[in-house]
Structure 1
Amino acid sequence: MKKKYVRLISRAAVWSPRFGGLAFLILLFSILLQRFSVIDVTVFMILIIISACCVVVSLFFAVKALYSLWVYGALGGMKALRGIIYSLTTAIPLVLFWGFWFTLPALHDVSTDIQRPPTFFRTARPSDALPLKSVLIEQAALQMSQWPEMSGRRYDGSPDRIRESVLNVLAAYDWPVIAQKKFKGEEDELYIETVAKSFYLGFISDIVIRLIDEGDTTFVDMRSASRYLPRDFGANAAFIIDFMEALDTEIALLPLSQDEK
Structure 2
Amino acid sequence: MHEKTSSKLVNWVGYLAITMLVILPIAVLTVRSGAWQQGLMLFAIGCLGSTILLVLALVLGLFPLYRPHGNALRRRGLLAIPGTAILLSMVAGMGDYPPIHDITTDPDNPPAFSAAQSKRGNDANSLRIDPEVIETARQAYSDLATLETHLSIDEAYAQALATAQDLGWDVYRDDLNAGYIEAAASTAIMGFTDDVAIRITSNEAGTMIDLRSVSRVGRSDLGANAARIRKFIQAFTQQ
Range of TM-score over shorter length: 0.7 to 0.9
Residue in 2 that maps onto 1:50: 45
2:122 paired with 1:127 = yes
CA contact (8 A) 1:7 1:74 kept: no
Residue in 2 that maps onto 1:203: 192
In the TM superposition, residue 49 of structure 1 has moved relative to its aligned partner by 2.1
Residue in 1 that maps onto 2:216: 227
Q: Deviations over 1:85-123 (max 9, x none)?
A: 222332111221233235422121100111221111111
Query: Structure 2 CA distance, aligned partners of 1:46 and 1:245?
Result: 35
Pairs within 5 Å for 1:122-201: 122-123=115-116, 124-136=119-131, 138-140=133-135, 142-181=136-175, 189-201=178-190
Query: Structure 1 CA distance, aligned partners of 2:39 and 2:96?
Result: 20
Residue 223 to residue 64, structure 1, CA distance change in 2 (3 Å): closer
Tell me the amino acid that sits aligned with residue 97 of structure 2.
L
CA contact (8 A) 1:9 1:75 kept: no
CA contact (8 A) 1:155 1:217 kept: yes
CA contact (8 A) 2:111 2:210 kept: yes
Residue in 2 that maps onto 1:237: 226
In the TM superposition, residue 157 of structure 1 has moved relative to its aligned partner by 4.5
Question: What SS does the corresponding residue of 1:8 show, helix, strand or coil?
Answer: helix
Bigger proportion of residues as helix: 2
Question: What SS does the corresponding residue of 2:188 show, helix, strand or coil?
Answer: coil
Query: Structure 2 CA distance, aligned partners of 1:14 and 1:6?
Result: 14
2:22 paired with 1:25 = yes
Residue in 2 that maps onto 1:87: 80
Query: Structure 1 CA distance, aligned partners of 2:100 and 2:23?
Result: 28
Question: What SS does the corresponding residue of 2:179 show, helix, strand or coil?
Answer: strand
CA contact (8 A) 1:66 1:77 kept: yes
In the TM superposition, residue 158 of structure 1 has moved relative to its aligned partner by 3.8
CA contact (8 A) 2:185 2:194 kept: yes
CA contact (8 A) 1:105 1:231 kept: yes
Query: Structure 2 CA distance, aligned partners of 1:249 and 1:63?
Result: 49
Residue 82 to residue 135, structure 1, CA distance change in 2 (3 Å): same
Tell me the amino acid that sits aligned with residue 111 of structure 2.
P
Residue 169 to residue 58, structure 1, CA distance change in 2 (3 Å): same
Tell me the amino acid that sits aligned with residue 18 of structure 1.
Y
Query: Structure 2 CA distance, aligned partners of 1:206 and 1:112?
Result: 15
In the TM superposition, residue 133 of structure 1 has moved relative to its aligned partner by 2.8
Question: What SS does the corresponding residue of 1:196 show, helix, strand or coil?
Answer: strand
RMSD: 2.8
Tell me the amino acid that sits aligned with residue 214 of structure 2.
A
Aligned positions, number: 236
TM value normalised by structure 1? 0.77
Instruction: Point out where structure 2 has 5 or more consecutive residues left out of the alignment.
Output: none
In the TM superposition, residue 73 of structure 1 has moved relative to its aligned partner by 6.4
Question: What SS does the corresponding residue of 1:207 show, helix, strand or coil?
Answer: strand
CA contact (8 A) 1:108 1:230 kept: yes
Question: What SS does the corresponding residue of 1:18 show, helix, strand or coil?
Answer: helix
TM value normalised by structure 2? 0.84
CA contact (8 A) 1:155 1:218 kept: yes
In the TM superposition, residue 33 of structure 1 has moved relative to its aligned partner by 5.1
Q: Deviations over 1:133-159 (max 9, x none)?
A: 32445543x434433321112333443
